[in-house]
Chains A and B, each alone.
Chain A
Amino acid sequence: MKRISIDPITRLEGHGKIEIFLADDGSVANCYFQVPELRGFEKFVEGMPMEEVPRVVSRICGV
């Protein structure tokens, strides 16, 4: 079974990879999209004063 890896996906914000498995006749047998990143904002803002949170979570996405 042939395997095509697209790693990384590009021209968007964020990390991602795509694995495509081809059957012998060249058709797509299966395709997986994976997100290889996590930073955990939802955890590490716990306990912060609420007025400080906007300037932290703006760093979830700089775009």
Chain B
Amino acid sequence: MAKLKLASYWAAACGGCDTAILDIHEKILDLAAAADIVFWPIALDFKYADVEAMPDGNIDVTLFHGAVRNSENEHLAKLLRAKSKVLVAFGTCAHIGGIPSLANLFNKQSIFKRVYHDSPSTVNSDGVEPQPKTKVPEGEITIPQFYDTVWPLDHIVDVDYYVPGCPPTPKQIWSVVTTIVSGQLPPKGSVVGASEKTQCDECPRQKHEKKITGFKRIATAQPEQETCYLEQGFLCLGPVTRGGCDTRCQLSGVACRGCYGPPPGVLDQGAKAISAIASVIDATDPAEIERIISEIPDPLRSFNRFGIGGSLLVRKAL
């Protein structure tokens, strides 16, 4: 059987997804036996020009991670879509915008102002900002255009599968690789490498009846380690987050912040989070309700930490 052609690319990313792929450890040899990797910037020296020269559909599967933040990310999304038979939105950023999509509460102007002018360690008396084109004595050099909005991959191109997680766990990555190699692919548009239930289904903490009368922060209070976080008043997005990661955060002493994205059937993780959590707040008086919910600082970024780009409204109106 001919070896599969595989590619892995990072857009507005951190390298964590590639590191998670490498964390399959010695199984990388099995991967190399089954597939030729034809584009993988973190590990191999193929260039954009090499991808551009490929015939369309040349790559069997591309794992695209990172969100679309600038014109180069958009160009590569469209290029890899054309050159790939199967395009996978790999990792939370490509799936639902990820941490970079927290920037959707701001815009290019306010981000550039902070980064290039106002940040305490910056000295920029000439007020220089990066420009897409710069004339130099030898000609012209270019960098990508920075967009106001960060987009998940499926807002830019057609996506075949989604692998959630920030990053996806190596165990799940291996199960996705074996599925790909087997050729037994699920229906297009499926989320793979994750459970069909929520975090709560896998979480080992004790669950009792939830009646929240106040919210606590780990900055000022210590959770006990055997009981459900939400019951103790610590915000946990477990009830509205897809399972599959073996509750790695909850087992490490912190509550879930939702990186595996919404459970099946949920369109907006943040909306569902407030719906679920409001259901178990124990108050019927408006003033008391207001007192309790005011104990959650920074609502949008608390109820939707990883998926603002993939939320229904995508960004803050500015």
Contact = CB atoms under 8 A, between A and B. Distances in A.
A61 B106 contact: no
Contact of A19 (B45, B141, B166, B257): B141
A32 B143 CA distance: 12
Interface size class of B (residues with CB under 8 A): 35 or more
Contact of A34 (B49, B99, B143): B143
Contacts of B257: 52, 55
A49 B295 CA distance: 12
B119 interface: yes
B138 A1 contact: yes
B102 A44 contact: yes
Interface string B9-35: 010111111111000000000000000
A5 B17 CA distance: 27
A11 B45 contact: yes
Q: Which of B45, B102, B219, B298 has the most CB of A within 10 A?
A: B102
B119 A47 contact: no
B114 A62 contact: no
Contacts of A15: 10, 72
Nearest to A35: B143
Given A11-B45, A42-B114, A59-B14, A51 B139 contact: no
Contacts of A7: 47-49
Contacts of B264: none
A25 B98 CA distance: 49
B254 interface: yes
B19 A62 contact: yes
Contacts of B106: 40, 43-44
B72 A36 contact: yes
Interface residues of A, number: 43
Contacts of B305: 52, 56
A45 B217 CA distance: 17
Contacts of B105: 44
B267 interface: no
Interface in A6-37: 6-8, 10-15, 17, 19, 21, 29-30, 32, 34-37
Interface stretch (B36-44, B193-201, B286-294): B36-44
Interface string B258-302: 000000000000000000000000000000000000000110011
Contacts of A17: 143
A11 B44 contact: yes
A3 B136 CA distance: 13
Given A47-B298, A63-B19, 19 more contacts: A6-B47, A10-B44, A10-B46, A11-B42, A11-B44, A17-B143, A21-B139, A29-B138, A32-B136, A34-B143, A37-B69, A42-B114, A42-B115, A43-B106, A45-B102, A47-B301, A48-B301, A52-B301, A61-B16
